[in-house]
C-alpha cells in the first residue's frame, strides 16, 4: 500500500507596499500563478499615496488589502498582516521579489522534509536570476549584518546551510512560532528586523535555514541614502541590547566600544555622521523600553551564551564594508579576539 501523501500546508503570503505601483505587478503575477486555493495573499499598504493600493486591487482581486492611514514601517505592517492571517505558514515577501517557477512548493517543503528549521529564507537572486542577492545572512559579533554571497554566480556555491539570519526579502516561519516569538520588533520601522527575529529564534533554541530550491529575484539596491544608516545603526544596537546574552555582551564590551569609534570616523568620511549620532540618541531614548524587552526575551532563552555566539562570525568579508572587509590585519585581529571570547564562553 502506498504511503499517504503529505498534505500541503496553507500559506499566508504577507507583502508590505509603499509607493511601489510600478514594481509590484511582476510579483503579484508570479504569485497568482502559484498560490493554491486555500492560500492567501495579504497586502498592507503603508499610506503610499500614489495609487499603489489600486494597482494591487486590480492585479490581485482575491488578495486581502489592508490600507494603513499612516506609514508605520515594515515590521509593524508585517505584524498587522500576520495577526489577520489564517495560514499555517507565514511567508514575508518583498513586493519587488519575484518568485521563480516552483517557489510555492519549495518554500513550504521544509515543514515536512525533516529540516527542523524554525524559520528559513528563499535563495534570493538579482539581475534576472544571474547572481546571488543573498544565500543566507551573515551576522558579525558586533551585530553588523549583511547578505551572504551577494554578487556571486548563482550556481557557484550552495546555499548557506546555517546562515546567521534569514533575509526578510522572503522569510518563512510557522505562524504559531511567529506568534510565540512576539513577531517583528515594531519600533525598528525599517531594516535589521529580520536579523533581530532570527537571533531570537536561535536564543529560543530554534534553527535557521535556506530553502535553496525556492528562488525569488529581488530588485535590490543597497544605497538608499544617509537615512538608512540611522535605521541600521539604531536597530543594530537595539538587537544587541535586547537579544545578546549578558556574558557575551560583557566580553564584547571592548570590541563594541572600538567599533563605535571606528564607525564615527567612517561615518564622517562617508557623509552620514549626523545619522550615526542620531542613532546614538535614538538608542539612549529607547533604553528603558529596550531593557524591559530584554528581560522578556532573555527569559525565553533555551541555549547558553556559547551556543548562541557560535552562530556569529569574526570576519568582515562583505562587499558592502569596503576596506574593512578586505584588511588581512584586521581579520587576524578580530579572529584572535573572537577565539578568546568563544573559549571563555565554552563554545565549540
Predicted structure pTM score:
0.94
Give me the domain span that covers residue 174.
12-218
Residues 63 and 20 in one domain: yes
241 and 135 co-located in one domain:
no
Q: Does one domain contain both 212 and 235?
A: no
CA-to-CA dists, residue 271 to 145, 226, 276, 281, 326, angstroms: 21, 8, 10, 18, 22
* Same-domain status, 253 and 124: no
Cell numbers describing residue 343: 573559549
Taking only the tens place, the pLDDT of each residue in 250-268 is 999 999 999 999 999 999 9
Mean pLDDT of the chain: 93
> Looking at the structure, do residues 26 and 147 belong to the same domain, yes or no?
yes
Domain assignment of residue 149, yes or no:
yes
Sequence-distant (6+) residues with CB within 8 A of 14 are 42, 44, 78, 81, 82, 85, 90, 91, 92, 93
pLDDT at residue number 4: 39
Is residue 5 included in any domain, yes or no?
no
Mean pLDDT within 167-171: 98
Q: Report residue 147 as a C-alpha cell.
A: 547578505
Residues 266 and 205 in one domain: no
Residue 7 covered by a domain: no
Do 158 and 256 sit in the same domain of this protein? no
Whether residue 1 lies inside any domain: the answer is no
How many domains, the chain? Answer: 2
Are residues 323 and 177 part of one domain?
no
Do 29 and 171 lie in one domain? The reply is yes
Confidence bin at 302 (pLDDT 50/70/90): very high
Copy the grid coordinates of residue 341: 571570547
Count of other CB atoms within 10 angstroms of residue 131: 16
Specify whether 120 is located in the same domain as 212.
yes
The answer to the question of residue 3 being in a domain is: no
Tell me whether residue 169 is in a domain: yes
Digit-coded pLDDT (tens) for 14-34? 999 999 988 899 999 999 999
Residue 318 pLDDT: 73
Shared-domain flag, residues 341 and 205: no
In tens, the pLDDT along 217-242 reads 998 776 667 889 999 999 999 999 99
Name residue 99's beta-bridge partners.
Answer: 216
Q: Write the CATH number for 135.
A: 3.90.550.10
- Are 205 and 283 in a shared domain? no
Phi and psi for 131 in degrees, rounded to 5? -130, 165
Amino acid at each position: 500500500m502506498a504511503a499517504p501523501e503529505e498534505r500541503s500546508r496553507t500559506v499566508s503570503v504577507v507583502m508590505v507596499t509603499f509607493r511601489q505601483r510600478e514594481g509590484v505587478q511582476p510579483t503579484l503575477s508570479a504569485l497568482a500563478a502559484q498560490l493554491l486555493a486555500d492560500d492567501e495573499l495579504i497586502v498592507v499598504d503603508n499610506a503610499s499615496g500614489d495609487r499603489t493600493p489600486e494597482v494591487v486591487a486590480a492585479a490581485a482581486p482575491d488578495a486581502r488589502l489592508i490600507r494603513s492611514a499612516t506609514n508605520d514601517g515594515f515590521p509593524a505592517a508585517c505584524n498587522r498582516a500576520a495577526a489577520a492571517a489564517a495560514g499555517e505558514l507565514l511567508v514575508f515577501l518583498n513586493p519587488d521579489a519575484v518568485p521563480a517557477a516552483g517557489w510555492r512548493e519549495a518554500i513550504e517543503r521544509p515543514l515536512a522534509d525533516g529540516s527542523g528549521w524554525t524559520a528559513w529564507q528563499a535563495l534570493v537572486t538579482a539581475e534576472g536570476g544571474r547572481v546571488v542577492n543573498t544565500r543566507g545572512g551573515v551576522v558579525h559579533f558586533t551585530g553588523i549584518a549583511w547578505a551572504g554571497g551577494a554578487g556571486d554566480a548563482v550556481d557557484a556555491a550552495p546555499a548557506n546551510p546555517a546562515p546567521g539570519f534569514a533575509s526578510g526579502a522572503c522569510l518563512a516561519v510557522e505562524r504559531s512560532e511567529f506568534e510565540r516569538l512576539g513577531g517583528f520588533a515594531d519600533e525598528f520601522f525599517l531594516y535589521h528586523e529580520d536579523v533581530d527575529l532570527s537571533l531570537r529564534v536561535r536564543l529560543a533554541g530554534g534553527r535557521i535555514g535556506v530553502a535553496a530550491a525556492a528562488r525569488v529575484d529581488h530588485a535590490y539596491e543597497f544605497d538608499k541614502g544617509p537615512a538608512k544608516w540611522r535605521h541600521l545603526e539604531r536597530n543594530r544596537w537595539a538587537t544587541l541590547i535586547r537579544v545578546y546574552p549578558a556574558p557575551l555582551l560583557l566580553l564584547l564590551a571592548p570590541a563594541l566600544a572600538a567599533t563605535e569609534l571606528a564607525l564615527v570616523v567612517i561615518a564622517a568620511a562617508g557623509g552620514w555622521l549626523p545619522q550615526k549620532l542620531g542613532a546614538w540618541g535614538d538608542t539612549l531614548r529607547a533604553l528603558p523600553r529596550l531593557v524591559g524587552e530584554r528581560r522578556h526575551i532573555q527569559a525565553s532563552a533555551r541555549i547558553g551564551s556559547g551556543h548562541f555566539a557560535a552562530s556569529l562570525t569574526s570576519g568582515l568579508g562583505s562587499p558592502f564594508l569596503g576596506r574593512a572587509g578586505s584588511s588581512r590585519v584586521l581579520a587576524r585581529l578580530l579572529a584572535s579576539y573572537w577565539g578568546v571570547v568563544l573559549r571563555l564562553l565554552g563554545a565549540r
